[in-house]
Each structure stands twice: as structure tokens, then as C-alpha cells.
Amino acid sequence: GYLIIDQTEAMTTIDVNTGGFVGVRNFDDTIFKTNLEAAQAIARQLRLRNLGGIIIIDFIDMENEEHRSAVLSEFNKALARDHTRLTVNGFTALGLVEMTRKRTRESLAHVLCEECPTCGGRGEVKTARTVCYEILRELLREARQFNAREYRVLGSQAVIDRFLDEESQGLAMLSDFIGKPISLQAEPSYSQEQYDIVLM
């Protein structure tokens, strides 16, 4: 099995997955063994990564109440080695374990890593198509506010390419609507979401 640990501003979530592990007797046995191993691994990761605040753990769903109790007991036993103040609530109606762990210092991720300059720590960037639509809306706002001779769009190569191909008709229609020419200029240093509109 494996763990997916996702740290956000509000809380940390930990998801337990079986991966390719298959039990000897049946699937319930596989789930139970995976959750028992996960309970020990999670307690260790909380200490290693110095995770604090609200922590939600999504163990693999177990029908058997005895299995749930055994996993919770194993988890509490593994957490006994942790000298940080913490509280663990039992399984919720959704099958999640909620807990809190006192934040003593910055987590390992905050010490070793910094925000991605492209996505700003979100983990994703807008598509070139989405940025094109943003630019079209911004061009319309600018045209209503300012009476420029021409509007020049500076953007990433991917966005400019999109305007020259799939979005060329939308750009031409907007140019006709505002009655002013719109020129394009690719900026190699721009990230995909970055753009500027220059009034000429």
C-alpha cells in the first residue's frame, strides 16, 4: 500500500491506498493488513515531517467493527512515541479519522521547499485556452475604458500560438467589435498565465 499526504493551509489530509497488494485469504484481510501498516507509517510520517494542526486520515473503508477498533488501537499505540501534544478522535460517520497535533515549528515541506513560481503553490496552471478567454475579456474592458489607437497583447508562446490558430476568429471578432486593431507579441520569459495588454 501507499500514502498520499496533502498539506494545505487549512489542514493536512492523508489518504491510504492498497496499491497492488493482494491479501492471501480475501479482500477484507488485505484492507485490514494495509490499514494496520498504514497506522504505523502515518504516526512515523507525522513526526518526520513535523505535521501539525488539523489532520484528516482516510483509511481504506472497513466493514468489520473489530477491524476498525484494531486499526485505531494500533494507530494510538504508534502515536505514543510522539512527544507532541495530540488528540485523536475515532472514526467519523464517513469513515475518516480526525486528529490534531500541536504545531511546534514549521513542517519539513515548508523548510525544504518553496512555492512554485509558475503556479504560486496551487499545483496547477490555467490552460492556454483559458488565458486566451481572460485576455479577450480584459481587452473588452480596456476598450470600454480607454480610447487607444491599437491594443498589443504580450503573452507566452503557447497563448500567442493559440490566438493565431484556434482563437483567431474570436480575436478578429473582438477587433471588429471595438473597431481597433489588436496585435500579438510572444514573450519567451512569460509563464503561461502571464500576460500584459499595452495601449498604443
What is the per-residue pLDDT across 81-92, written as a single tens digit (0 to 9) for each? 888 899 998 888
Which pLDDT value is given to residue 110? Answer: 77
Which pLDDT value is given to residue 93? Answer: 84
Burial 84-105 (b: 16+ CB within 10 A, else e): eebeeeebeeeeebbbebeeee
Global pTM?
0.64
170 vs 198: CA distance, rounded Å: 19
- The answer to whether the CB of 200 falls within 8 A of the CB of 154 is no
Which pLDDT value is given to residue 22? Answer: 55
- The answer to whether the CB of 78 falls within 8 A of the CB of 46 is no
Give CA 106 to chain center in angstroms: 20
Which pLDDT value is given to residue 21? Answer: 55
Which pLDDT value is given to residue 179? Answer: 94
Q: Hey, what domains does the chain have and what are their CATH numbers? A: 2-112 (3.30.110), 128-199 (3.40.1260.20)
Helices 157-164 and 168-178 sit at what angle, rounded to 10 degrees? 80
Name the stretches of the chain with pLDDT < 70. 20-25
